[in-house]
Each structure stands twice: as structure tokens, then as C-alpha cells.
Chains A and B, each alone.
Chain A
């Protein structure tokens, strides 16, 4: 158990819809990262938050947005969903330096 909690574990929705993925980091970790893993692909970095502020941005689509709340949990919002958005979305947290601890992922299926 990494200590990072992601909900929901599975989500099935239709094209054009909007979903929200939630992440609770390990206790004490200020940084939260979001990654996308499409089928049989590597992990693509989307965005990082540190103590409530956006700190780094990767290949995140404009239809996607994220935020980190005062209690340090984070949400990733995906809107106007397309078939190609179907993927496993990982959240990870870390201390200032060191390894990332990953949640179990949220599997999104867009039909």
C-alpha cells in the first residue's frame, strides 16, 4: 500500500461527458502528480501541484484541468471526453526530493 488513494477505480462514461478523478496523497506529501497511461503505452506526465499551486505542466489537454485543495487532495477534471481519452490515470505524491508513490490508478473508459 503506497498510501496514495485514488477514486474511482473504474469509470465508464460516454463521449462528450465530464468526469472528475480524485486523489489523496500520502500523509505529509505536499506534491501531487497526475499521469496518463494509454493502452500499452508509457506514462505521460500531465501536471504537478505543490502545496496548492501548479508547479509543472506536461502534455495536458486544454479540456483537462486539475487543482489541489487546502487539505492537499487533488482532482483531475476531464471534459468533452473523446474515445482517445480512455486510459489509466495515475496520481502520485512525493516529498520535495525522492521517489514518487503511486496510487492504484483510475481506469477511464469512454464509449
Chain B
């Protein structure tokens, strides 16, 4: 069974600075994707970035990038030039494929505060 660990319950960053959120996971699968979702106070779940495990290149999406270490089963999220709108709960979620099952298993989340 998959497990996901987000060891930082809360983080804080100054506006315009950079912050890294950590995530480790355990899976026996070889074919999987990894996602970061954010949940702002509106409670909407918003996809931030995704990484295919078979790709060696780390995914980047504007100010968001990941450091994917497959052997270590680590998948951290870096937010550059932090903005007030980045304040949210961030969830790491790996998924697996097989028989059209694509469920995500979410970590417990990291609450990010952005200080002006």
C-alpha cells in the first residue's frame, strides 16, 4: 500500500522569498505520477504541478518546481518568488495505474503562510 509523509505541518515564508515543501512516499509500483495540490481557504483543490515517474527531468510550472528523487522516493515542491496568493494547504499525492484505477493517496498536508 502506498504511504505519503509530509513532515512539515506548517511553514512560513516572506513574500518574494523561496520555500521548499517536502514529501516522501512509499510505493512498490514502477509506473506512477506524483502531484502537488493546493487548497486555499476556499477549500477548492487546485492542481499545482505533476511529475511522471518515468521522466528524469524535474517538472516546472512557472514559479513552481519539483525536486524528484525517485530512488529516495522524495518529491519536494519549491515555490519561488512567493506571493500572498500562495498561502494555502499543500498536499502531495502519488498515484498509480492499473485497471483504470487512478486514485490519489494524499499526505496530511503542509499549511503555508506567506508574510508580507
For A33, what are the chain B residues with a Cβ–Cβ distance below 8 Å?
Answer: 103-104
Task: Please provide the chain A residues from 41 to 82 with a CB less than 8 Å away from any CB of chain B in the complex.
Answer: 41-43, 45, 48, 50, 55-56, 58
For B109, what are the chain A residues with a Cβ–Cβ distance below 8 Å?
Answer: 42
User: Which of B35, B45, B99, B100 is the one whose CB lies under 8 Å from A90?
Assistant: B45
B104 touches A102 (CB 8 A): no
**Does B55 sit within 8 A of A, measured CB to CB?**
no
For A24, what are the chain B residues with a Cβ–Cβ distance below 8 Å?
Answer: none
For B43, what are the chain A residues with a Cβ–Cβ distance below 8 Å?
Answer: 37, 88, 104-105
A59 to B2, CA, bound (A): 14
- What count of chain B residues pass the 8 Å CB interface test? 20
A31 touches B100 (CB 8 A): yes
A94 to B43, CA, bound (A): 19
A42 touches B91 (CB 8 A): yes
For A55, what are the chain B residues with a Cβ–Cβ distance below 8 Å?
Answer: 99-101
**Does B108 sit within 8 A of A, measured CB to CB?**
yes
**Does A19 sit within 8 A of B, measured CB to CB?**
no
**Does A12 sit within 8 A of B, measured CB to CB?**
no
Report B94 CB to chain A, min CB distance, Å: 12
A-B contact pairs, 15 of them (CB 8 A): A30-B100, A33-B103, A41-B108, A42-B109, A43-B104, A45-B104, A48-B101, A50-B100, A55-B101, A96-B100, A97-B97, A98-B33, A99-B50, A102-B44, A104-B44
* B interface list, Cβ under 8 A from A: 33, 35, 43-45, 47, 50, 91, 97, 99-109
